[in-house]
Amino acid sequence: MGIFERMAQEGHQEVVFFYDKSTGLKAIVAIHDTTLGPATGGCRMYPYQTEEEAIEDVMRLSKAMTYKIAAAGENLGGGKCIIWGDPNRDKSEFLFRALGRFIHTFGGRFTTGTDLGTVKEDFVWARQETPYVCALPEEYGGSGDTALITAFGVWHGLKAAAKWRWGNDSLQGRRVAVQGVGKVGYCLLEYLFKDGAHCIISDIVSQNIEAAKEKFPDVTVVEHQWIYDVDCHIFSPNAVGTILNDQTVPRLRCEIIGGAANNQLAEQKYGEMLMERGILYCPDFIINSGGLIQVADELQGFNQERAFRKTADIYHRLLEIFRISKEQNISTHQAALLLAEKRIQAIEALKHIHLP
């Protein structure tokens, strides 16, 4: 499929390629939809095998950002940036300053920050060339780490799911299988333990497990390949994406799924499969939107209390999605997409009112 055909099919407005000979920078920015406002989305740095793989990733992720932002109630559009390179080998001050100059050419139409393979400090370099970067360290005027607020949002989402499934939003005595206890998963454990949950954890990084055991000695540890088989009330994916697939869904022994990992469904059909199995799925782009809410708040002058208050609304947003799912007999993933599309269409309809 050609690039223009793909853009037409997925609804993208722009796909821009950047190359800088002096630094070796190869970057792509995809802007999906700006109905709600200027686009924003993280910058991922990854050693893609092919150009086609890089294009597919940036287009898929930018479209997902449109829905995530719309569902979160923010007035921004969906976009994404990728750098084709090895984050362990190819980073330099000059590469990110070159990226900053390219980002500046959008004139505020697109803003970016950290994602897989990049860290806040990378964008301190980019910030020297453009104001259109966010999620900077606090000492540089940014809002700092998003892990805590993301975990806060996931916790509120799980409480909403508990309320819908069991009639009470307390997690007291509930068994929660937490896949991945890195930044967000580690923070989530604190909320879960305070709420009285019993946590079973796994991670492919042994240091993450040791850190979690030191802080939370009551956790139960299982090998990462067996986390799908744990008999639990809630399965919480907080690591890699596409983990809900043909191999894993049949193994699950839970009633609720909700976590911070992106793109948890390998394909949309697995949302229907979970529904058929009676598992209540919290759509990832809804329950993990706390970090996005913090970054969006940073763009207007960060207020921590306001950002956490808006993140707590994930609770009510999920209850609305569960209601739509039940009434229309569709998966919760489809219901979440419907909610996002409805908001985009409503804002678009307002544009018939001419402003002076």
- Which segments within the chain are labelled E, that is strand? 14-20, 25-33, 39-40, 43-46, 77-84, 110-111, 175-179, 198-202, 220-221, 234-237, 256-257, 280-281
Rounded Cα gap, residues 343 and 339, in angstroms: 7
> How many angstroms separate the CA atoms of 9 and 195, rounded?
45
pLDDT tens sequence across 73-110: 999 999 999 999 999 999 999 999 999 999 999 999 99
Confidence of residue 241 (pLDDT cuts 50, 70, 90): confident
Residue 37: the pLDDT is 95
Distance CA 311, CA 260 (A): 13
pLDDT value at 137 more than 90:
no
Fold of 147-342: Rossmann fold (3.40.50)
pLDDT at 135: 81
pLDDT at res. 270 = 95
Whole-number Cα distances in Å, 137 to 114, 122, 191, 291, 304:
11, 10, 24, 14, 14
Give domain limits for the chain. 3-63+77-140, 147-342
Q: What single string gives the DSSP state of each residue in 172-185?
A: TT-EEEEE--SHHH
Q: Residue 33: phi, psi to the nearest 5?
A: -150, 135
Q: Please report the pLDDT score of residue 149 as a whole number.
A: 94
| pLDDT, tens digit (0-9, with 9 covering 90-100), for 6-63 | 999 999 999 999 999 999 999 999 999 999 999 999 999 999 999 999 999 999 889 9
Burial class of residue 266 in the structure, from the number of CB atoms within 10 Å of its CB (0-12 exposed, 13-18 middle, 19+ buried): middle
pLDDT digits (tens, 9 = 90+) for 278-335: 999 999 999 999 999 999 998 888 899 999 999 999 999 999 999 999 999 999 999 9
Which are the catalytic amino acids? 80
Residue with more model confidence, 301 or 179: 179
pLDDT over 90 at 169, yes or no: yes
pLDDT for the residue numbered 141? 83
Note the pLDDT of residue 240: 80
Q: Are 119 and 48 in contact (CB under 8 A)?
A: no
Please state, as a whole number, how many other Cβ atoms lie within 10 Å of the Cβ of residue 119: 14
Look at 119 and 329; give whichever has higher pLDDT. 329
- The whole-number average pLDDT for the span 228-241 is 94
- pLDDT reported for residue 258: 98
Would you say the CATH fold of 147-342 matches that of 3-63+77-140? yes
> Over the chain, what is the mean pLDDT?
94
Beta strand pairing call for 25-33 and 14-20: antiparallel
* pLDDT reported for residue 352: 85
What percent of the chain is modeled with pLDDT above 90? 85
Q: Is the pLDDT of residue 207 over 80?
A: yes
pLDDT for residue 197:
97
Predicted confidence (pLDDT) at residue 1 exceeds the cutoff of 80:
no
User: Quick one: tokens of 27?
Assistant: 């970057």
d(CA 3, CA 6) in angstroms, rounded, equals 5
Under CATH, to which class is 3-63+77-140 assigned? alpha beta
- Sequence-separated (6 or more) residues with CB below 8 Å from residue 102: 18, 20, 25, 27, 29
pLDDT for 320 equals 97
